Amino acid sequence: MNKKNTTIIFAMILVLIAGLKLASAVTVDANYLTIYPGEQGKITLRINNNEDFNMKSITASIALDNLPFTSVGSSEQDVDDIDKDDYDSASFTIKASEGITPGDYQIPYIITYTNSKTDVVLKKIGSFGIRVSAQTQLDYVVQVTGNAIEGQQGKVSLEIINRGLGGIKSSSVQIYPQGFDLLSPDKVFIGTINADDTDSATFDVLYSSTTPILKAKISYKDFDNNDQSETVSLPFKVYTKEEALKLGLISNSNAGLYLGIIIVLLIIWFFWRRSRKKKKNKGG
């Protein structure tokens, strides 16, 4: 290897070492923030001086351009001088927009400071993560398939309406019958219900009361993957057969009447035929 190539390689190594030193000289730590749409939270940046000189004329700023956040107060802050091997902090309050999509976001920051030995202005650029979570908002509705008549079989469904901004996962429904008997398993797995969507758990039942209650435990994982559960008790109406007939929900069957008429006609026909045969035999 000639002298020229050796010099180039050595220079490249020095640049690499300098770059590594520059990259690791100042470190910034941020607290992990979780907020909801329309809410605000406080971020604190801890600036660690690992340089071999004191830092002065320090300014910390966050960049929210093209992001669904606003700064509550200034997005730029002056920081006291930081001696080597020491640290200081800068805090910012940010607010998420009302219509923000829940998820993880990266917020850029810029730390500008001056080398106290050389008066050279330097910058540290990076980003920190925050999470916009989604509050779970569930509504529940009882749905009955067909006519709910006491003493008869039917189907009862619990509809889950997700009005929140984030989906729920691994959802299931377990019911505890009151006023009806179950003809199917008492637990149904539903799975994922996205935001602004619905899903249902349906059960085969035998109605034993006119005032049943659908008591159910709904279990699920929320947007942050935490286990949650809710218990609801929803009354619904079951009719007696007489009420159903009166309201026109069902019609009275005339099959028995028709069968009786047919039997009577057959008996009349039988005796008429028998009488006719006797008269014919006498005449003969």
Take residue 83 and report the two structure tokens written for it.
């001696």
- Tell whether pTM > 0.85: no
Looking at domain 138-247, which CATH architecture does it have? Sandwich (2.60)
What are the residue ranges spanned by the domains of the chain?
26-132, 138-247
Looking at domain 26-132, which CATH architecture does it have? Sandwich (2.60)
- Tens-binned pLDDT, residue by residue, of the chain (284 aa): 555 554 444 444 444 444 444 444 899 999 999 999 999 999 999 999 999 999 999 999 999 999 999 999 999 999 999 999 999 999 999 999 998 999 999 999 999 999 999 999 999 999 999 999 998 999 999 999 988 999 999 999 999 999 998 899 999 999 999 999 999 999 999 999 999 999 999 999 999 999 999 999 999 999 999 999 999 999 999 999 888 888 777 666 555 555 667 777 778 766 767 776 666 666 55
Take residue 77 and report the two structure tokens written for it.
């802050």
Task: Report the chain's terminal Cα–Cα distance, integer Å.
Answer: 146
Take residue 223 and report the two structure tokens written for it.
């947007």
Residue 90, burial from CB neighbour count under 10 angstroms (0-12, 13-18, 19+): buried
Can you tell me whether residue 96 is helix, strand or coil?
strand
Given this chain, do its domains 26-132 and 138-247 carry the same CATH topology? yes
Nearest-angstrom CA–CA distance, 126 and 39: 24
Contact 72, 94 (CB under 8 A): yes
- Give residues with Cβ within 8 angstroms of 139, minimum separation 6: 160, 161, 163
- Give residues with Cβ within 8 angstroms of 19, minimum separation 6: none
Nearest-angstrom CA–CA distance, 175 and 217: 6
Residues in the chain: 284
Take residue 96 and report the two structure tokens written for it.
């998420």
What integer pLDDT is reported at residue 92 of this predicted model?
96
